[in-house]
Structure 1
Amino acid sequence: MHFEDTTIYIVGDAKSPQNNPIMEVYKAFFVGIVVDRKTAIIVDVECSATLGLTNSFVKSLLIGKNVLSPDVIDCINTRYFGSSQKAFGVALKDAQKKYQQIMQSESK
């Protein structure tokens, strides 16, 4: 897949519960997000899931949404009920923070 020159790639991470298969495989929960820097719209996303269905569902939750919108966290809390729900929210908040830092540094 080709991404436009206006996009950036950000990775957010968080600890996942010890009894979670994600911890067994990756030792943490990661969410990689491709964001259009001009619009803040999420163009693509993937996470450190052990099931392909999880990544497909995450894509359906986030693609097309504004990375800074509270709605992206809300949809995790209301629609994603995997054992890594809390870690997913924390990783996404980490990605939001990184996006804001990037945008602030570019505006200077």
Structure 2
Amino acid sequence: MVNSRDKILVAGFAQFPKGTPVYELQKVIGCILIIDKEKDMIIDATFTFLMDTTRDFLRSLVSGKCIREGIDDLIDEIEIRCNIPGQRALIQSVINAYERYCDIKESQA
């Protein structure tokens, strides 16, 4: 699956807000996505959270999502279902990964 030429890996990062407990443990959040560029679908994902439960939940939230029409619906779902400190940093890391994907797709067109 991952070795297919239609799949690409992108990553986005964002800094947690200074002064929050999560910043003291982990200053930056990373969102790493494997995307099928023919289907514009997130095949797999991981996040650089320390806790497995958080990583697994986020992975299940984004995997299988079609991003052909953008990520507004995905961001809305994260806002509704993921009430954690640093939520904005999490969302920004997803946006950064998506923007990187768009840049790559555009350059390969």
Alignment TM-score > 0.5, same fold: yes
- Number of the residue aligned with 2:43: 43
The alignment status of 1:75 with 2:77, answered yes or no, reads yes
Offset, 1:40: 1.1
Gaps of 5+ in 2: none
CA distance in 2, matches of 1:88, 1:58: 10
Matched-pair contact (CA < 8 Å) for 1:9–1:33: yes
Counterpart-to-counterpart distance in 2, 1:37 and 1:20: 37
TM-score normalized by the length of structure 2: 0.88
Q: How many residues align?
A: 105
**What pairs up with 1:1-108 in 2 under 5 angstroms?**
2-5=1-4, 6-18=6-18, 19-21=20-22, 23-67=23-67, 68-107=70-109
Distance 1:105 1:17 in 2: 33
Is the 1:7–1:34 Cα contact (8 Å) retained in structure 2? Answer: yes
Provide the rounded CA distance (Å) in 1 between the counterparts of 2:21 and 2:8: 30
Q: Hey, what's the Cα distance between the residues in 2 that align with 1:8 and 1:26? A: 26
CA contact (8 A) 1:34 1:43 kept: yes
- Seq. identity, %: 25
* Shift of residue 25, structure 1, vs aligned partner: 4.4
State the Cα distance separating 1:63 from its structure 2 match.
0.5
- Could you tell me how far apart the structure 1 residues matched to 2:38 and 2:50 are? 32
Query: CA offsets per residue over residues 32-85 of structure 1, 9 Å max, x none?
Result: 000001111011111111110001100111010023332111111110011121
Partners of 2:95 and 2:8 lie apart in 1 by 16
Q: Secondary structure at the match of 1:65?
A: coil
CA RMSD, Structure 1 to Structure 2 (Å): 1.4
CA deviation map 1:68-108 (0-9, x unaligned): 3321111111100111210011111111111110111001x
